[in-house]
């Protein structure tokens, strides 16, 4: 049986295939951004930049995609496919659930950061 960290690593490995240095550099700073500003604020920032930069759009999809997986137990899959629905779900959840979402986002970002550096 795989651990949750192994499942995160496998998901992150799929996500980082074909990424470039811009994605890698963005991924390096995101855990600190989440810790200092919060999960929703970071996702909103990334989404605001997604129209200009493909890397921002990719990483939003990757984080929300993880939060929508059953292993993460944060969002329902249909919520994770739509930014507005994901944000509404996060805004409406209780503080314990929001803390879990933040922890899961940090967990997947850790793996994305490590593995993106390995493939870029």
Residue ranges of domains in the chain: 56-120
Tokens describing residue 59: 């990483």
* Cα–Cα distance measured from residue 102 to residue 17, given in angstroms and rounded to the nearest whole number: 24
Q: How far is CA 69 from the centre of its chain?
A: 11
Q: What is the full per-residue pLDDT of the chain (120 aa) written as tens digits?
A: 999 999 999 999 999 999 999 999 999 999 999 999 999 999 999 999 998 889 999 999 999 999 999 999 999 999 999 999 999 999 999 999 999 999 999 999 999 999 999 987
DSSP per residue, 77-100 = HHHHT-HHHHHHHHHHS-HHHHHH
Report if pTM > 0.85: yes
Closest of 35, 2, 1 to residue 107, by C-alpha: 35
């Amino acid at each position: 049986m795989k651990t949750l960290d192994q499942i995160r690593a496998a998901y992150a490995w799929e996500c980082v295939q074909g990424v470039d240095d811009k994605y890698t550099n963005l991924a390096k700073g995101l855990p600190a951004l989440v810790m200092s500003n919060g999960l929703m604020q970071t996702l909103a920032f990334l989404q605001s930049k997604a129209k200009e930069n493909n890397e921002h759009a990719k990483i939003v999809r990757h984080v929300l995609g993880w939060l929508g997986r059953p292993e993460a137990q944060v969002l329902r899959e249909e919520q994770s496919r739509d930014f507005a629905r994901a944000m509404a779900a996060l805004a409406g959840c209780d503080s314990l659930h929001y803390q879990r979402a933040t922890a899961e986002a940090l967990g997947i970002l850790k793996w994305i950061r490590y593995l993106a550096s390995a493939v870029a």
